[in-house]
Amino acid sequence: MTKAPAPPPASAPIIVAIDGGAASGKSSTARALAARFGLLHVDTGSFYRQVCAKLMAQRIAPDQTEPIEAGLAAVTFSTQVVGNTAQLLIDGHAAGDDIRSEQVNTHVSHYAALPAVRAALLAYQRSQPEVARKHGFRGVVMEGRDIGSVIFPNADFRIFLHADQAARAARRAAEGRVDAVAERDRLDTSRKAAPLLCPPGAVDIDSTHLTLEEVVEKLSALIAQKLPPLSSC
């Protein structure tokens, strides 16, 4: 049977905010929810990775405040929608595979901790629900580390995913990726600008012993109270 068309987007796009540390399951969960509910998937971690890669390519270190501020003031951020995912374009250029490299993994938290970097991306991130509406999506599922606390503190759904460090390190190893999970946790939770935390009132889920499917089902039941899933027929 032909898949039923999606209903027209609501006037106010639904916002699902998912926060959590590295390898907590944010991306896989967000992608599954985006497909199930007709939402635009927005991976804000990739935005910070892209900015990190650009600054590193320009040989600008995290402690070089003035060059960072000048460099970010000179760039233009825009969005390219590929499938149901929002991709950041910096001066019209999309991210390359280098943003998932070991080098970027090592340094991204240092750049992401800088107030200048977070301020540069703030308005851009907040523009994504309107991007979703214009492209016919019902809203956004946005993942990151400060979505429910800073970017969209009044999101329709605020979710915090976490898992113990051993489980998260094992997940990265299974993906064939090198990622200093413990060190990134330390940097992300201790930074002064928008630290990683579970926002008050958010749905807190420990995914250590849950499968991806179990996490998705828990959150789908929650979201379906306000937004019915798309027909699977």
Torsions phi, psi of 59, nearest 5? Answer: 60, 40
Instruction: Taking residues 70-83, report their average pLDDT.
Output: 96
Backbone phi and psi for residue 19, each to the nearest 5 degrees, phi listed first: -115, 160
pTM over 0.85: yes
Tokens encoding 38: 């007709």
Give the least confident one: 56-60, 180-184, 187-191: 180-184
State percent of the chain over pLDDT 70. 94
CATH of the domain at 138: 3.40.50.300
Residues 171, 46 contacting (CB under 8 angstroms)? no
Q: Which two tokens stand for residue 105?
A: 């993994």
List the binding residues for ATP.
20-28
- Is 230 a domain residue? no
By the 10 Å C-beta count (0-12 exposed, 13-18 middle, 19+ buried), 76 is classed as exposed
**What is the tens place of the pLDDT at every residue in 133-157?**
999 999 999 999 999 999 999 999 9
The amino acid sitting at 64 is: Q
pLDDT of residue 179 exceeding 90, the answer is no
What's the structural domain count of the chain?
1
Q: Most distant CA pair in the chain: distance in Å?
A: 59
Is the residue at 10 inside a domain?
no
Does residue 2 fall inside a structural domain? Answer: no
Neighbours of 38 (CB within 10 A): 20
Identify any residues that bridge with 157 across adjacent strands, giving them in sequence order.
16
What are the tens digits of pLDDT across the range 87-122? 999 999 999 989 989 899 899 999 999 999 999 999
Find residue 15's DSSP bridge partners: 140
**What single DSSP character describes residue 8?**
P
- What span, in angstroms and rounded, lies between the C-alpha atoms of 189 and 165? 14
Residues spanned by the domain of 133: 15-223
Give the residue from 64, 67, 57 showing the smallest Cα distance to 98. Answer: 57
pLDDT for the residue 71:
94
List the end-to-end C-alpha distance of the chain, in Å, as a whole number.
Answer: 6
Q: What type of residue sits at position 223?
A: I
CA angle 57, 177, 122 (to 5 degrees): 50
Q: Is 76 helix (H, G, I), strand (E, B) or coil?
A: coil
Residue 233 has pLDDT above 70, yes or no: no
pLDDT band, residue 5 (cuts 50/70/90): very low
Classify residue 203: in a domain, yes or no. yes
Strand partners, 86: 81
Side-chain half-sphere CA neighbours of 185 within 13 A:
15
Position 4 in a domain: no
- Grade residue 187 by pLDDT with cuts at 50, 70 and 90: confident
Whether residue 5 lies inside any domain: the answer is no
Predicted local confidence at residue 8, as pLDDT: 47
Establish if 3 belongs to a structural domain.
Answer: no
Pick out the residues of the known binding site: 20-28
* Token pair belonging to 180: 């200093």
pLDDT band at 195 (very low <50, low <70, confident <90, very high): very high
Question: Which residues are bridge partners to 40 per DSSP?
Answer: 140
Q: Is residue 42 part of a domain?
A: yes
Q: Is the per-residue pLDDT at 48 higher than 90?
A: yes
- pLDDT tens column, 197-209: 999 999 999 999 9
